[in-house]
Amino acid sequence: MGVENTGGVTRTEKRAAGRGRPRSRDGGSEDTRRDLLVAAGELFLDRGVARTTMSAIAERAGINQSSAYYWFAGKEAVLAALAEDNRASLKVAREQAAADAPAADRLYRVVRADIAQMLTMALPFHEFERAATASPEDFPSFAADYAELRRLLAVVIASGVASGEFPAVSPQSGADSVIALAEGLALRHYGAADRAGDVAHLGAEMAVRMMTSSPVPAARARLAVEADG
Amino acid sequence: MGVENTGGVTRTEKRAAGRGRPRSRDGGSEDTRRDLLVAAGELFLDRGVARTTMSAIAERAGINQSSAYYWFAGKEAVLAALAEDNRASLKVAREQAAADAPAADRLYRVVRADIAQMLTMALPFHEFERAATASPEDFPSFAADYAELRRLLAVVIASGVASGEFPAVSPQSGADSVIALAEGLALRHYGAADRAGDVAHLGAEMAVRMMTSSPVPAARARLAVEADG
């Protein structure tokens, strides 16, 4: 698994680099749409949704207004596109919670989809979450989507425990840990589109390993730590 | 493991809540010191270290300047304290990389210390990292400390693989995943000091489970995904 740590390169630097790259200005490329989403996300974070206008979004993206309106009818459409960005893995989770394959396979698919989604979103997930939490009226489905993803992961894990495929684990703690692993990888590797597939597979593998392991070594290690006081 | 998801509460809200709480102004309490560190971290992030003064730090913390100087001789001392915040788990990692206990026990200790540290830092780790990366001259040890922690984790994992205690895993990928899990949990639970112990134990348990599991179920799941195309 050739996943390299990004080391000292922060998303701030990545974004700064992104802003400087040559842009197509014909308004017709998918890059233009993405530049608008990134610019909108940054403005929503910096000044809030209410104080962000389409012209400010277009200006920050370095795109003229008529081209911006080619892609989005208005600010509401930009918001909707950003929110939709966040729902691809939920669709996979719904399918897998109801599917009939081994729990490990289903967990693998959901985690892989979730990491792949976060690595290709227009904003890093934790910043998207910040924008959504700051103005829930503008991102009405965010909190419910997040809760549903966590619930569906717990359903998959619980079914693996019930069938004996996974050794004892609390489905809620398992889901929390799997989400934390996915978010941690997304935080560390955001912006590295060329490695997104490898990172998604690594996270999915490690999530399955967490759930398929015997809890005995961890319980013994905890006892050893607690014996020290 | 009673770890509850914090759901829609972001660190921004937590911080806003922190700012509003009643403060002791006698300059003698540890809370005062911490308020100064938090205020300094926020200012370093907002405007950079060079443009942050001790008087601005004191003002933002709501503490008079003489009390601020009771705790810190100057901005450099504040920076040093913030950096020291980030080194507790490195000390544990150094000890455990050289220790003679089972690899699972040593991994457990390092991950637990790392999560406990991140949950009690004056700044969320990913923001601390952003400040450190934006002005490496002010946080000279940050990048080296981070690389060393990752290397020491890989040493512990490699020793577990070599002894047969851990099934096959790449020590680097294992270290990346363990760090991602720890950082993801810290991102999600930052500010919940009352649950810090539980979260640290949960993360340490899951890290040990990742490393002690057979890779077979994950490999089979990956094959199933790839067969779909």
CATH code for the domain in which residue B108 is found = 1.10.357.10
Q: What is the least distance, in Å, from the CA of B107 to any CA of chain A? A: 9
Among partner residues A5, A173, A217, which is closest to B202 by beta-carbon distance? A173
Confirm whether B31 is domain-assigned: yes
Residues A66, A70, A75, A80, Cα dihedral to 10°: -170
Domain limits for position B73 = 16-82
A172 contacts B185 by C-beta, under 8 angstroms: no
Regions of chain B short of the pLDDT cut 50:
1-27
- Residue where a domain terminates, one of A82, A100, A133: A82
B132 with B148, same domain: the answer is yes
B74 with B95, same domain: the answer is no
Query: Does the CB of A209 have a partner CB in chain B at under 8 Å?
Result: yes
Beta strands in chain B (DSSP E): none
Model pLDDT, residue B124: 87
Mutate to test the interface with B, among A3, A111, A181 (most CBs of B within 10 A): A181
Model pLDDT, residue B95: 97
B73 with B155, same domain: the answer is no
A92 with A192, same domain: the answer is yes
Confirm whether B123 is domain-assigned: yes
Confirm whether A64 is domain-assigned: yes
Residue A17 reports pLDDT greater than 50: no
A104 with A47, same domain: the answer is no
Confirm whether B10 is domain-assigned: no
B106 with B158, same domain: the answer is yes
Query: Does the CB of B16 have a partner CB in chain A at under 8 Å?
Result: no
B3 contacts A173 by C-beta, under 8 angstroms: yes
* Alpha carbon distance A142, A126 (integer Å): 12
The conformation of residue A228, written as its DSSP 8-state character, comes to T
**What is the separation, in whole angstroms, between the first and last Cα of chain B?**
38
Which range is least confidently modeled, A7-11, A174-178, B133-137, B208-212? A7-11
B40 contacts B57 by C-beta, under 8 angstroms: yes
Query: Does the CB of B74 have a partner CB in chain A at under 8 Å?
Result: no
- Residue where a domain terminates, one of A52, A82, A112: A82
Q: Which of B184, B197, B167, B66 is nearest to B125 (CA)?
A: B184
Residues in A touching B210 (Cβ below 8 Å): 206, 209-210, 213
Q: What is the least distance, in Å, from the CA of A184 to any CA of chain B? A: 4
CA B90 to each of CA A47, B75, B111, B136, B170: distance values in angstroms, whole numbers, following the listed order: 38, 24, 10, 19, 21
Model pLDDT, residue B189: 93
A133 with A38, same domain: the answer is no
How many domains does chain A contain in total? 2
Residue A114 reports pLDDT greater than 50: yes
Confirm whether A3 is domain-assigned: no
- Residue where a domain terminates, one of A82, A99, A131: A82
Confirm whether A39 is domain-assigned: yes
Q: Which residue of A has its CA nearest to B223?
A: A105
Quickly list DSSP for B9-64: --HHHHHHHHHHS----SS-SHHHHHHHHHHHHHHHHHH-STT--HHHHHHHHT--
B124 with B183, same domain: the answer is yes
B92 with B205, same domain: the answer is yes
Among partner residues A5, A107, A184, which is closest to B181 by beta-carbon distance? A184
Q: For residues A40-68, give the mean pLDDT.
A: 91
Q: Which of A14, A8, A118 is nearest to B144 (CA)?
A: A8
**Confidence bin at A11 (pLDDT 50/70/90):** very low
Q: What is the least distance, in Å, from the CA of A138 to any CA of chain B? A: 14
CATH code for the domain in which residue A69 is found = 1.10.10.60
Model pLDDT, residue B63: 93
B6 contacts A133 by C-beta, under 8 angstroms: no
Q: A17 or A177, which is more confident?
A: A177
Counting Cβ atoms within 10 Å, is residue A42 exposed (0-12), middle (13-18) or buried (19+)?
buried
Query: Does the CB of B163 have a partner CB in chain A at under 8 Å?
Result: no
**Confidence bin at A109 (pLDDT 50/70/90):** very high
Confirm whether B210 is domain-assigned: yes
Residues in B touching A112 (Cβ below 8 Å): 225
* Alpha carbon distance B129, B141 (integer Å): 12
A158 with A103, same domain: the answer is yes
Among partner residues B5, B150, B205, which is closest to A222 by beta-carbon distance? B205
* Alpha carbon distance B197, B188 (integer Å): 14
Confirm whether A12 is domain-assigned: no
CA A153 to each of CA A103, A220, B6, B9: distance values in angstroms, whole numbers, following the listed order: 10, 27, 17, 21
Radius of gyration of chain B (CA): 20
B35 with B55, same domain: the answer is yes
* Alpha carbon distance A14, A193 (integer Å): 12
A176 with A215, same domain: the answer is yes
Which range is least confidently modeled, A83-92, A104-113, A148-157, B202-211? A83-92
Model pLDDT, residue B20: 37
Q: A28 or A117, which is more confident?
A: A117
Q: At a CB cut-off of 8 Å and minimum separation 6, what does B188 contact?
A: A176, A179, A180, A183, B5, B6
* Alpha carbon distance B83, B40 (integer Å): 12
Interface of A with B in 76-135 (CB under 8 A): 101-102, 104-105, 107-109, 112, 126, 129-130, 133-134
Tell me the pLDDT tens digit for each residue of B11-54.
Answer: 333 343 333 334 444 446 778 999 999 999 889 888 888 889 99
